[in-house]
Amino acid sequence: MSAERIASGDGVAFKEVYKVYPDGTRAVDNLNLDIRRGELVSLIGPSGCGKTTTLKMINRLEEPTSGSIVVGGEDVRSSDAVALRRRIGYVVQEIALFPHLTVAENINVVPSLLGWSEAKMRFRADELLEMAGLAPERYRYRLPDQLSGGQKQRIGVLRALAADPQVILMDEPFGALDPISRETLQNELVSLQKNLRKTIVFVTHDMDEAIRISDRIAILRHGKVEQIGTPEEIQTSPKNDFIRNFIGEDRLSQMSPDDSVGMLLEEPWAVAAPSESAAAVLERMEENDREFIHVVDPKSGVWLGAALLGRVRRAAVAGKSVVESLSRDRKLYLEDAVLRDVAQMLADRDISIPVLDADDRLLGVVTSAGLARLAMNRLRGKRPSPAGGEKKEESR
Amino acid sequence: MSQRSLIDLFITFVGRNWQRILRLTGEHLLISLIAVGITVAVCVPLGIYLTRNERAAPYVIGLANVFQTVPSLALLGFLIFVFGIGNDNAICALFLYAMLPVLQNTYTGIRGVPKSFVQAARGMGMTDFQILMKVQFPLALPVLVAGVRVAMVWTIGTATLASAIGGGGLGRLIFSGLSSVRNEIILAGAIPATLLALAADWLLKRAQEYFNPSARAKRLAKRHGISAEKEANSAA
């Protein structure tokens, strides 16, 4: 996504970080992790893998034994812990809204520590409540006890957002919620993140959750990053048996027709610019034995259409530009396309399908080869152990 | 001595001595308030200190417990050697007596604040002092006030013994009634003492309710012209 947008080091970076407890336990063992600005990265792993310790070292609730942790370009150990924490949002599993404070006061805990004016805090609380779809005049003076579990954690998230920090830490924030509220809040977080683009470090033990919400997932084991990648990468190419077990055999084998096509995206073999002549494009296609090429505006990345070999040939004979041969009806949008669509379209005609973002930019293509590879991976993943997801808690 | 005549005697005594009774009641209340005031001023900070020094806690609370179990008359008598005769002695003894509920409730009240609140507060950038003042203390307050309530009622009751060591208060009437075998005088001391204790209990119960978080939220909502209760009901 916006991964390359801003140079790394601006988000949260761990460099050779160790955390050794007095009893010799290595909670974090040479951890290296670079979380980019505006990215949501999940830390996941079996219990005792060091994910919560890792999170707490970012706001200095835990101090690393050695190594450096940089937040927003500044080493955390060179800044005052209290000031640092006020710059970083924090959401905990226990929710921990203060029961003696109203919803608005809870939201404004950090702003009040920062000395904001009453008027500004009131405005901020109302603004955030509205953003979360909670009518301010109804909820402002409620107490946490008068809220449902899902509403409580919604306020918990708003509390972390109140002082507008760039970095937000979430420690299994939805772990204590019922499945329905959990899913609702996950979806809300995803849409919130689309607009706000915070740097979010999200600890979870729930792989489904990580897949649903993350830009990237870091799987931790024995205090090290075992594998890091986008949800699609982790699912389609688990690095080893540990990852495969951890993801859960059932998930690998369970290819739902409603899964996003995101995991199938491939680079298109070649694209043509609209300014090229049909003849030049035809030559390239024949050389590479292709019957299909995508035409993309080189500046904006916007997909203009696909050119089929037959039509390019005709345009070339007529001496026209490649633009004359485009067809635009065969495409998918990443936002709403699922594997079912891909399978149907590929069965209909076996040529690569362009996948576009909401602004018509070409993100990649999906091919029948990719679909077959995914299927193979998942089938293979199932074979080694029939035990399924039970392995999750096992390795320590 | 018939019932009727006791009531008659009582009314006559009160009619003749009401000014003295009022003065002694005031004195009684003053002694009790000073004693409980000192107790709160000493034991609340001490209780908070103990939550940060857990190892000392059992010893200090144990000591308060010992004072509690010594018979009150014996304690008062013993303190004559320290303070001599009079109200100072009485106040000191009452203070030692009232320590336990205030100390214990402060300590357990603050320790009873769930760790998750403290962790969240720290994670959001509160200093230790802010955590104490903004989170732990307000949450422990209803428990703390309950301790003060118990201490207050005990103290008002025990303060009647102060006159045994030369102090003032309604105990004067009770002891003089006992020595002259005149029940109406005993009653003239005992009834106001009981009423004082009940009134103090009632007042502190109201205070306990006042410091309750939900009462606070209702006040806040009222001040801003919104009925939180109605809102909560309509939501449910």
CA atoms within 13 A on the CB side of A231: 20
Instruction: Please tell me the distance in Å from B43's CA to the nearest CA on chain A.
Output: 24
User: A-chain residues within 8 Å CB-CB of B214?
Assistant: 143, 145
- The overall average pLDDT reported for chain B is 87
How far, in Å, CA of B8 to CA of B27, rounded? 26
ipTM of the complex: 0.79
User: A-chain residues within 8 Å CB-CB of B125?
Assistant: 82-87, 110, 113
Among the residues of chain B, which ranges form H helices? 3-52, 57-69, 72-83, 87-111, 115-123, 128-130, 137-158, 171-179, 183-210, 213-223, 228-235
Strands (DSSP E) found in A63-212? 66-71, 74-75, 88-92, 167-171, 199-204
User: B-chain residues within 8 Å CB-CB of A100?
Assistant: 138-139, 213, 216
Q: With H, G, I as helix, E, B as strand and everything else as coil, classify residue A24.
A: coil
Q: Residues of chain B whose pLDDT is less than 70?
A: 1-4, 225-236
pLDDT at A393 over 70: no
Chain B residues in contact with chain A using a Cβ-Cβ cutoff of 8 Å:
114, 116-117, 119-127, 130, 134-135, 138-139, 213-214, 216-217, 220-221, 224, 226, 228, 231-232, 235
Q: Mark yes or no for CB contact B120/A92 under 8 Å.
A: yes
The tokens describing A29, both together, are 């063992």
CATH code of residue B140: 1.10.3720.10
A66 touches chain B (CB under 8 A): no
Q: What percent of chain A has pLDDT over 70?
A: 90
Q: Mark yes or no for CB contact B214/A142 under 8 Å.
A: no
Q: What is the mean pLDDT of residues A220-230?
A: 93
Which residue among A87, A92, A113 sits closest to B126, beta carbon to beta carbon?
Answer: A113
Q: Mark yes or no for CB contact B213/A141 under 8 Å.
A: no
Is A139:A150 a contact under the CB 8 Å cutoff?
no
pLDDT at A387 over 60: no
A143 touches chain B (CB under 8 A): yes
Number of domains in chain B: 1
Q: Count CB pairs under 8 A between chains A and B.
A: 81
In the prediction, which pLDDT does A394 show?
A: 37
Q: Mark yes or no for CB contact A92/B119 under 8 Å.
A: yes
Q: Whole-structure pTM over 0.80, yes or no? A: no
Is A97:A144 a contact under the CB 8 Å cutoff?
yes
In the prediction, which pLDDT does A379 show?
A: 63
Q: Please choose, from the candidates B33, B36, B61, B63, the residue with its C-alpha nearest in 3D space to the C-alpha of residue B47.
A: B61
- The overall average pLDDT reported for chain A is 84
Is A51:A44 a contact under the CB 8 Å cutoff?
yes
In the prediction, which pLDDT does A83 show?
A: 94
Residue ranges of A 273-302 with Cβ closer than 8 A to chain B: none
pLDDT per position as a tens digit, A25-84: 889 999 999 999 999 999 998 888 899 999 999 999 999 999 999 998 889 988 899 999
User: A-chain residues within 8 Å CB-CB of B116?
Assistant: 92, 94, 96
CA–CA distance from A74 to each of A14, A35, A175, B13, B178 (Å)? 12, 14, 31, 82, 79
Q: Mark yes or no for CB contact A92/B123 under 8 Å.
A: yes
Q: With H, G, I as helix, E, B as strand and everything else as coil, classify residue A96.
A: coil
Is A249:A385 a contact under the CB 8 Å cutoff?
yes
B236 to chain A: nearest residue by CA?
A146
Give, in words, the CATH class of A12-258.
Answer: alpha beta
Is B41:B73 a contact under the CB 8 Å cutoff?
no
Q: What is the mean pLDDT of residues A85-102?
A: 93
CA–CA distance from A243 to each of A28, A238, B210 (Å)? 18, 6, 55
Domain boundaries, chain A: 12-258, 263-373
How far, in Å, CA of A13 to CA of A9, rounded? 6
Q: Mark yes or no for CB contact A96/B120 under 8 Å.
A: yes
A176 touches chain B (CB under 8 A): no
Is B180:B174 a contact under the CB 8 Å cutoff?
no
Domain A263-373 fold is CBS-domain (3.10.580)
pLDDT per position as a tens digit, A277-330: 888 888 888 887 777 888 888 888 888 888 888 888 888 888 888 877 788 888
- Burial (CB count within 10 angstroms: exposed 0-12, middle 13-18, buried 19+), residue A35: buried
